[in-house]
Amino acid sequence: MPRNARSGDRNSAIETRGLVRTFGENRAVDGVDLGVNAGEIYGFLGPNGAGKSTTVRMLCTLLKPTAGQATVAGYDVVDSPGEVRIRIGVALQEAALDERQTGREILDLQARLYGLSAFDRAASIARAVDLADIGSAMEDRVKTYSGGMRRRLDLAASLIHGPEVLFLDEPTTGLDPVSRAQVWDEVRRLNGELGVTVFLTTQYLEEADALADRVAIIDGGRIVEEGSPAELKRAVGADVIVVDLPSEAIAPAAAVAETVPDVDAVTQGRRGITIATADGAATVGSVAVALAGAGLHPQSLTVRTPSLDDVFLLATGYRMSTVDPTAAGGGPAAGGSDPHAGPAGAPASEGSSPR
Amino acid sequence: MSVQSEAPALAGGGMVRPVGTITDIATVARRSVRSLLREPEAMAPALIIPTFFFLVNIGALESFVERSPGIDYRAFQIPVAIIFAVTGISRASVLVIDIQTGYLDRMLVTPVRRTTLLLGMMVADVVLAVALSLVVIAMGFVAGVRFGTGLLGILLFLGLAVAWSLAFTGFPYTVALRTGNPAAVNSSFLIFFPFAFLTPAYLPRELMTGWMQTVAAWNPVTYLLEGMRSLLSAGWDAAALGKGAAAIGGLGVVTFVMAFRSLARRVATG
């Protein structure tokens, strides 16, 4: 088969086998296998430095893999980068725009870079102007734009040539809640109406939960979990019991909780333990009794449904611990309700002991 | 075997098509020229410096140098002014910003030919060099300088100035692509000083002495100045023009090899 030929499976938008990228001694991406179907929104979830952006840069032909293989829109990213480039749209982290140009000029430049004819250019720019939805600001220089306006323009520019696969690298990082909701709506619309495959990296659990058909969780350059958000959460258990405890009581409490019938897994956090179980309402009483019997007195006991952060915790042994400014009450991204998430920037060290 | 790619259809029914190198250069140049026109203030130093040196040099040295027979010092100084105006101008500072903001990456994920990212910016450099050169030539005319070689001589004079400017841009682009650092790009202007001053900028080479004369003999700007001066005073002097063109070509080959290698390294995906 010629080196720049499209591979057989038209239903596969992205496929990687053993993808590796090293920087010196650091294996930023360490054997990633992915399979993204055409037409799906695929969430690539992980904390800062997990290898998300490096993976995206390889898939977008900006970076060569050290080892392994990757095809995007049916073409190998190393052998046929040109074929890949005309089929993908890319909005990298921190909307990259030329501040001295107007929004319209940026869209025009983008259309020309893809070699659109004058006729197609006019139609594509008109569509992109609608998509960006920034009104008369389209004629203003980008330096006058807000963060949300930049993101929308960036997104519109990345779609100017009608790509088959759209890469969004942390598209809502740093956005206010309203702008974030607009980007989410747009991603859903692009996927739903135009059938664009979306590969979305995010460090926001709720973003992956809300948008993605399937999610891969990456940590330390490796995929640690993959599945639909519902499947992944189901794997944790139907319910989660969060037990707040003084620090000296955490280890003994975990040991006691593991003996309680119907407890599937116990994970220790900095401020307590998290218990996965099939029926939280039925089990919480037994947990409370067992702890009291051992002379341990929880500060609080809460039953809730599992979040993707619980999935992450179970897979990696620590929480993502990202403070999401749009989460309710400005709390952690893991649903805002999780008292065991650590502070921003530093993963809370937690131990997991699934039974 | 070549394979015709099945280019993806646009929603509008069109196709994304591969375009030629010239189209890519025109696309990149369009943006560069537009941003150039939006910062006319950037032209100010490039005009103030040569005007200042032209006036000061003439004021200080005209009557002294013109004691030597056959020297029109104003004509002698116009090539110096034009070299001061056009040397080191480039869009390298914009390229650094593109690197820092990620806009270069945005362009690199498109099918645009990599070399045209630099060539397109150089088109804007040429536009600026032509504009600056015309202003300096006009200043020369106001000062009473005339071209012994007529209109063709003026065009060649302009051509040499612009070609020199372009040949020199390889330095700042190399620094921009190697470092991605705006301060380093601004500092790259320093390389201009030995090029500009270790030359017969003030006095004809035969009046220079000692090590300066030796260094000037190795400086390409010496031959550029002498070639340009020949168009003003000596009439057509093929040898002087040939040496001037060779000086430009020699420097151009060196700086372009450096710049395009740096570009290749910067956009290398390895």
Q: Determine, yes or no, domain membership for B204.
A: yes
Domain residue limits at B244: 21-267
Tell me phi and psi for residue A41, to 5 degrees.
-100, 120
Q: How far is A70 from chain B (nearest CA, A)?
A: 14
Size of interface A-B (CB pairs under 8 A): 120
Element spanning B57, H or E: helix B43-65
Distance, CA of A303 to CA of A241 (rounded, Å): 5
Mutate to test the interface with B, among A114, A154, A155 (most CBs of B within 10 A): A114
Q: Is the pLDDT of residue B152 over 80?
A: yes
pLDDT of residue A10: 62
Beta strand pairing call for A197-202 and A272-277: unpaired
Closest CA to A151 of A135, A127, A168: A168
Facing residues of A64 across strands?
A: none
Beta strand pairing call for A67-72 and A41-45: unpaired
Out of A171, A204, A231, a domain closes at: A231
pLDDT of residue A65: 94
Distance, CA of A153 to CA of B84 (rounded, Å): 41
Residues of A in contact with B117 (CB under 8 A): none
pLDDT of residue B10: 52
Distance, CA of A276 to CA of A354 (rounded, Å): 9
Q: Is the pLDDT of residue B246 over 80?
A: yes
Q: Determine, yes or no, domain membership for A55.
A: yes
Distance, CA of A100 to CA of A109 (rounded, Å): 13
Q: Determine, yes or no, domain membership for B91.
A: yes
Domains held by chain B: number: 1
Q: How far is B126 from chain A (nearest CA, A)?
A: 20
Residues of A in contact with B1 (CB under 8 A): 2
Q: CA torsion B122→B127→B129→B131, rounded to 10°?
A: -170
A120 vs B: CB within 8 A: yes
Distance, CA of B48 to CA of B50 (rounded, Å): 6
Q: Determine, yes or no, domain membership for A89.
A: yes
pLDDT of residue B150: 87
Residues of A in contact with B103 (CB under 8 A): 96-98
pLDDT of residue A343: 32
Q: Determine, yes or no, domain membership for A5.
A: no
CB B241 within 8 A of CB B232: no
pLDDT of residue A266: 87
A68-119 confidence digits (pLDDT tens): 999 999 999 999 999 999 999 999 877 788 988 999 999 999 999 998 988 8
What is the pLDDT confidence band of residue A62, given thresholds at 50, 70 and 90? Answer: very high
Distance, CA of A171 to CA of A187 (rounded, Å): 10
B73-115 confidence digits (pLDDT tens): 888 889 999 999 999 889 999 999 999 988 999 999 999 999 9
pLDDT of residue B113: 92
Q: How far is A213 from chain B (nearest CA, A)?
A: 24
Q: Determine, yes or no, domain membership for B5.
A: no
Asked if A119's CB is within 8 angstroms of B14's CB, the reply is yes
Q: Work out the angle at residue A216's Cα, subtended by the Cα atoms of residues B111 and A228, and round it to the nearest 5 degrees.
A: 115
A100 vs B: CB within 8 A: yes
pLDDT of residue A5: 63
Same-domain status, A294 and A339: yes
Domain residue limits at A299: 235-354
Q: A213: helix, coil or strand?
A: coil
Tell me phi and psi for residue A13, to 5 degrees.
-85, -40
Conformational region of residue A204, where left means phi above 0, alpha means psi within -120 to 50, and beta covers everything else:
beta
Same-domain status, A117 and A176: yes
DSSP state string for B254-269: HHHHHHHHHHHHHH--
Q: Determine, yes or no, domain membership for B82.
A: yes
Q: Determine, yes or no, domain membership for B196.
A: yes
Asked if A93's CB is within 8 angstroms of B102's CB, the reply is yes
Residues of A in contact with B8 (CB under 8 A): 73, 86-87, 161-164
Q: Determine, yes or no, domain membership for A190.
A: yes
CATH number (domain holding residue A126): 3.40.50.300
A105 vs B: CB within 8 A: yes
B27 vs A: CB within 8 A: yes
Same-domain status, A191 and A339: no
**First CA to last CA across chain B, in angstroms?**
26
Helix ranges, chain A (H): 52-59, 81-85, 103-113, 118-132, 147-158, 177-194, 205-211, 229-236, 247-258, 280-293, 308-316
Q: How many CA atoms lie within 13 A of A265 on its CB side?
A: 21
Same-domain status, A177 and A305: no
User: Which residues in B82-121 are b (16+ Cβ under 10 Å) and which e?
Assistant: bbbbbbbbbbbebbbbbbebbbbbbbbbbbbbbebbbbbb
Asked if A61's CB is within 8 angstroms of B10's CB, the reply is no
Asked if A87's CB is within 8 angstroms of B17's CB, the reply is no
pLDDT of residue A327: 36
Q: Determine, yes or no, domain membership for B79.
A: yes
CA distances from A330 to A46, A308, A335 (A): 20, 18, 10
Tell me which of A256-260, B12-16, B177-181, B203-207 is least confident.
B12-16
A284-300 confidence digits (pLDDT tens): 999 999 999 999 989 98
Closest-approach residue (CA) in chain A for B99 = A96
* Residue bearing the bigger pLDDT, B210 or A348: B210
Asked if A86's CB is within 8 angstroms of B14's CB, the reply is no
Q: Residues near B7 by Cβ (< 8 Å), separated by ≥ 6?
A: A86, B15, B16, B17, B18
Tell me which of A3-7, A201-205, A305-309, B52-56 is least confident.
A3-7
Q: A306: helix, coil or strand?
A: coil
Neighbours of B37 (CB within 10 A): 11
Residues of A in contact with B10 (CB under 8 A): 116, 120, 123-124, 161-162
Out of A201, A231, A261, a domain closes at: A231
Same-domain status, A191 and A259: no
Helix B150-179 / helix B220-229 crossing angle, nearest 10 deg:
160
Same-domain status, A223 and A280: no
Same-domain status, A96 and A113: yes
Distance, CA of A296 to CA of A243 (rounded, Å): 11
Domains held by chain A: number: 2
Mean pLDDT, chain A, whole residue set: 83
Q: Determine, yes or no, domain membership for A4.
A: no
Tokens of B70: 């056959």
DSSP state string for B116-167: HHHHHHHHHHHHHHHHHHHHHHHHHHHTT---TTHHHHHHHHHHHHHHHHHH
CA distances from A36 to A28, A122, A198, A311, B85 (A): 21, 32, 9, 20, 56
Same-domain status, A88 and A18: yes
Mutate to test the interface with B, among A86, A110, A158 (most CBs of B within 10 A): A86
pLDDT of residue A17: 95
Beta strand pairing call for A214-219 and A41-45: parallel
Tokens of B220: 């390409």
Out of A231, A247, A273, a domain closes at: A231
How many residues comprise chain B? 270
Same-domain status, A148 and A242: no
Q: Is the pLDDT of residue A334 over 50?
A: no
Q: Is the pLDDT of residue B238 over 70?
A: yes
B142 vs A: CB within 8 A: no
Residues of A in contact with B108 (CB under 8 A): 62
Asked if A164's CB is within 8 angstroms of B103's CB, the reply is no
Asked if A113's CB is within 8 angstroms of B27's CB, the reply is yes
What is the pLDDT confidence band of residue B14, given thresholds at 50, 70 and 90? Answer: very low
Distance, CA of A109 to CA of A104 (rounded, Å): 9
Asked if A123's CB is within 8 angstroms of B10's CB, the reply is yes
Distance, CA of A272 to CA of A253 (rounded, Å): 8
Helix A147-158 / helix A103-113 crossing angle, nearest 10 deg:
20
Residues of B in contact with A113 (CB under 8 A): 24, 27, 107, 110-112
CB A284 within 8 A of CB A301: yes
The amino acid that residue B66 corresponds to is: E
Taking a contact as any Cβ pair under 8 Å apart, which residues of chain A between 277 and 316 contact chain B? none
Closest-approach residue (CA) in chain B for A1 = B1
Residue with tokens 């504009």: B131
Tell me phi and psi for residue B110, to 5 degrees.
-90, 170
The beta-carbon neighbor of A100 closest among B30, B35, B110 is B35
Taking a contact as any Cβ pair under 8 Å apart, which residues of chain A between 152 and 191 contact chain B? 157, 161-164
B189 CB-contact burial (10 Å; exposed 0-12 / middle 13-18 / buried 19+): middle
Same-domain status, A192 and A283: no
Same-domain status, A204 and A221: yes
**A35 alpha-carbon distance from chain centroid:** 15
Q: How far is B32 from chain A (nearest CA, A)?
A: 10
Same-domain status, A34 and A174: yes
Residues of B in contact with A61 (CB under 8 A): 109, 269
**First CA to last CA across chain A, in angstroms?**
49
Q: CA torsion A235→A177→A107→A193, rounded to 10°?
A: 50
ipTM of this complex prediction, to 2 decimal places: 0.83
Tokens of B22: 């010239």
Asked if B31's CB is within 8 angstroms of A109's CB, the reply is yes
Tell me the Cα Rg of chain B: 21
The beta-carbon neighbor of A5 closest among B3, B38, B109 is B3
B6 vs A: CB within 8 A: yes
